Structure 1
Amino acid sequence: MTLRREFDLIIYGATGFVGRLTAGYLAGAAPATARIALAGRSLDKLRAIRSELGDPARDWSLIVADADDQHALDAMAKRTRVVVTTVGPYARYGLGLVQSCAQAGTHYADLTGEPLFVRECIDRFHTLAVGSGAKIVTSCGFDSVPSDLSVFLLHRRALEDRAGELASATLVATVRGGLSGGTIDSGRAQWEAIAEDPSLGRIVADPYALSPDRHCEPDLGKQSDHALRRARGIDPSLSGWVTTFIMASHNTKIVRRTNGLLGWAYGKRFRYREVMYAGTSVAAPLIAVLVAAGLATLARLGPTLSRGLGKRVVDRLVPEPGTGPGERARDNGFFTMQTFARTTTGTRYRAMFAAEGDPGYKATAVLLGESGLSLAFDDNPRHEYGGVLTPASAMGEDLADRLGKSAMTISVDRIDD
């Protein structure tokens, strides 16, 4: 379905740190004919951002809309084919925009790593979006495009090779970059919600919490996102140690939702997990233990740290929302995601997804920007249905092709024993 609107794409939250980076990326990457607008709360700040972007953005329109003004969000959504938003925490500021897009049949992409927000979007807006044709695509940044597309492409390769369904896959993340203030604020918003309603903790802990039909998921026993092991236990080509990956809990839910949305195409007995590479140095085992123990403790104490003395201490230690590193630090970051998979016939594959640039900033601007362009311009009949979707189920190979052309490294290889 091609929406006939005033704009092809609106960047909402364009005056925030990641919003500015995304706007800057689109100024260079979008087609010259693309009709793009910048949106946010302050007209003066929007004008300043547009002037910084130079000639490509000279004619971009500016839209003032506050996240608390439902009428303004509704009007904005009706004017465009796609909204990409960097305004978080999404559970606090994002539900109104999702509602507007679902009602208007407007495609939507965000950067959320908040499973409680995604679950609420599914419960409240999935049926509405299916009816309007809106693709509400969550987690279109470092969380969770590399994870989601890697498994999707592994599935496609196994299908082409007639090698059976995916039986298991483990993603090993090697990352250099910092946590943004917005990411930390999103985590705190989730802790606050759990502190007020402890039953929400069960959603965060459930690996199938975002499944389109929880009752259809298999009982594969305990599946934990906490990890501490030697890397060679994942694949003989690896050495050193792996530990818990901070975003595994969210990413794995997105991958499992994709499997369900695709009719459990990966397989009903598919197991998936993510770990972080800790290295091969003498200190690697200690680093792995400290990271795993720290994240396990944080998972237990997070709700306590969202209020009182704990909140005041965290406020002093973490970066402010909307802030981020300088250009040199962003350029020095990188990520490499290797996903090792085995099919039901015993065939092994490795997917590689890598990029230069800080994952939470420079790389995420590319991932979100290309997701927005894909939703606006890729009319693939295999991805025409609406609803609250995932990057792979909504855009699949179209997004992978775009990212491969944007200097990201994406490949799938068969591993011969």
Structure 2
Amino acid sequence: MSNTDRTYDLVVWGATGVAGRLVAEYLTEQYRSDDLSLALGGRDETRLRELETALVEQRAGWEELPIVIGDATEPESLRTIAEDTRVVCTTVGPYTKYGTPLVEACISAGTDYCDLTGEVNWIREMIDRYHDDAVDAGARIVHSCGFDSIPADLATLLVQSFAIDEFGTPCDLVRIYLEDGRGGVSGGTMSSIVEVFQATSTDPIARKTLQNPYSLAPPGERDGVDPGVQTLPSKDPLRGEWTAPSPMAVMNERVIRRSNALLEYPWGREFECTEVVPVGSGPVGLVGASAVTVGLGVATAALTFGPTREALRRFVFPDPGEGPTKAEIEDGYFTIRVLGRGTATDGPFVVESRISADQDPGYGATAKMLGEAAMCLVSDEIDSPLEGGILTPAAAIGDPLADGLRRAGLGVEVGEWDPDQT
């Protein structure tokens, strides 16, 4: 994989943070120095050296891991790092606060980039400010390569590819189900959530970004038939059970719509997608859906109101740098199911895909997803017509990312839906 034009194939930026360390651990466990020129990046040299020592002692095939030092407040240091590597994989958030200088550096150097952001307002800013520059530079800037939003985005791509191959037409409706899961949160994740709500309270563009279902589409194409996120309990049109709004829908749905737009609408301009939480059938299902809806509404209201948002940040949320324990990560799991409905010449059909993992979705599994997204960029294992721009995982990488997730031990399946096995 190594390219002699650059010193490194890949830099893990923020390697000493909770998520960054997990990515570094995954990559050094899954790959070897003969296959990958990997460097650890951040601003604290002492902590980076400690991590290097620990990884070299624990991992066969790694005699050393170079260290690169930089600071988000010193753009020149980031430019040097970007110029020295083929791909930067960053876990340093909140991205609204720390991410822009690194994106600028990577575009300037023509360096590929991937991150974990779920900050839809910041992605919108990157699209409007830098998409054309990234296209001209041939730099693939791939946002949201973790639990936000690879499972929903990639599973939708798999459903649509299967439908087109098997039935000759895409699905006009896709439903994403947050089936099951358990995991912890870190201070970094909660800081990112606070940043989003802080931005929407002061910035009218950020507020409109969260209100418009098509806010991540290219300029001039930010409208359509899709009504956006589900806000109330509702009977599911495909499974017939009660569903509640999903807390991830605001991010994931917009990423999926951007994938469709970037790929020049292979799923049609009237394509609709909705992410929900299934809770069961009958009166019990309705009660459960109502409880989830009320809980999500209360949390949203608390984060929207400045004083309660600040109180949560100070007294409830973990501090930056804190995160789940190794045991908690290993004890986590998730399943994302996607159903797509379409109509072929011989009648309607439904396609199903699933992406699942037996680790914490936001940390153990996310480290694998981000790591494999980065490796696809390093190896140029890409099935996409796009050579640069502000991109999504599905549009930037495509089907090879599914193979990467399988290599990492995640479950990835696609086929015709059998409702009897639901």
Question: 1:256-285 CA distances to partner (integer Å, 9 max, x unpaired)?
Answer: 000000001111111101012335799654
Residue type of the alignment partner of 1:137: V
Structure 1 Cα separation of the partners of residues 62 and 18 of structure 2: 18
Matches within 5 A, 1:4-403: 4-33=5-34, 34-54=36-56, 55=59, 56-173=61-178, 174-215=180-221, 217-220=223-226, 222-230=227-235, 233-235=237-239, 241-278=242-279, 285-305=286-306, 308=307, 310-345=309-344, 346-380=348-382, 382-383=384-385, 385-403=387-405
Structure 1 Cα separation of the partners of residues 356 and 272 of structure 2: 23
Counterparts in 2 of 1:299 and 1:344: CA distance versus 1, 3 Å: farther
Structure 2 Cα separation of the partners of residues 171 and 258 of structure 1: 15
Identity of aligned residues (%): 34
Structure 1 Cα separation of the partners of residues 16 and 222 of structure 2: 43
Structure 1 Cα separation of the partners of residues 309 and 393 of structure 2: 35
Structure 2 Cα separation of the partners of residues 298 and 257 of structure 1: 27
Counterparts in 2 of 1:199 and 1:373: CA distance versus 1, 3 Å: closer
Question: 1:198-223 CA distances to partner (integer Å, 9 max, x unpaired)?
Answer: 44211112111000244374234x33
Select the residue among 377, 386, 411 that pairs with 1:409.
411
8 Å Cα contact 1:213-1:260 kept in structure 2:
no
Question: 1:138-157 CA distances to partner (integer Å, 9 max, x unpaired)?
Answer: 00000000011011111111
SS of the equivalent of 2:362 reads helix
Structure 1 Cα separation of the partners of residues 343 and 208 of structure 2: 31
Residue type of the alignment partner of 1:334: Y
Counterparts in 2 of 1:168 and 1:294: CA distance versus 1, 3 Å: same
SS of the equivalent of 1:266 reads coil
How far did residue 298 of structure 1 move? 3.5
Residue type of the alignment partner of 2:122: F
8 Å Cα contact 2:383-2:398 kept in structure 1:
no
Structure 1 Cα separation of the partners of residues 110 and 417 of structure 2: 43
How far did residue 74 of structure 1 move? 0.6
Residue type of the alignment partner of 2:270: R
Question: 1:143-187 CA distances to partner (integer Å, 9 max, x unpaired)?
Answer: 000011011111111111134122101011122112332221111
Residue type of the alignment partner of 2:69: V
How far did residue 32 of structure 1 move? 3.4
Counterparts in 2 of 1:119 and 1:199: CA distance versus 1, 3 Å: closer
8 Å Cα contact 1:50-1:58 kept in structure 2:
no
8 Å Cα contact 2:357-2:410 kept in structure 1:
yes
Structure 2 Cα separation of the partners of residues 266 and 191 of structure 1: 32
How far did residue 333 of structure 1 move? 0.8
SS of the equivalent of 2:86 reads strand
Structure 2 Cα separation of the partners of residues 31 and 370 of structure 1: 14
How far did residue 196 of structure 1 move? 1.8
Counterparts in 2 of 1:227 and 1:57: CA distance versus 1, 3 Å: farther
Q: What is the CA RMSD across the aligned residues, in angstroms?
A: 2.2
Gaps of 5+ in 2: none
Residue type of the alignment partner of 1:92: K
How far did residue 226 of structure 1 move? 2.4
SS of the equivalent of 1:203 reads helix
Question: 1:213-272 CA distances to partner (integer Å, 9 max, x unpaired)?
Answer: 44374234x3333242345x4325xx5x43221111100000000000000111111110
Larger deviation, residues 400-409 vs 364-373: 400-409
Larger deviation, residues 315-324 vs 387-396: 315-324
Question: 1:9-41 CA distances to partner (integer Å, 9 max, x unpaired)?
Answer: 000000100100010000011243210000011
8 Å Cα contact 1:180-1:324 kept in structure 2:
yes
8 Å Cα contact 1:150-1:351 kept in structure 2:
yes
8 Å Cα contact 1:227-1:275 kept in structure 2:
no
Counterparts in 2 of 1:281 and 1:184: CA distance versus 1, 3 Å: farther
Structure 1 Cα separation of the partners of residues 244 and 418 of structure 2: 27
Residue type of the alignment partner of 2:51: I
SS of the equivalent of 1:112 reads coil
**TM-score normalised per structure 2:** 0.91
Question: 1:335-361 CA distances to partner (integer Å, 9 max, x unpaired)?
Answer: 101111101432211111111100001
8 Å Cα contact 2:185-2:324 kept in structure 1:
no
Structure 2 Cα separation of the partners of residues 184 and 284 of structure 1: 29
Counterparts in 2 of 1:415 and 1:296: CA distance versus 1, 3 Å: same
Structure 1 Cα separation of the partners of residues 87 and 232 of structure 2: 38
How far did residue 406 of structure 1 move? 1.7
**TM-score normalised per structure 1:** 0.92
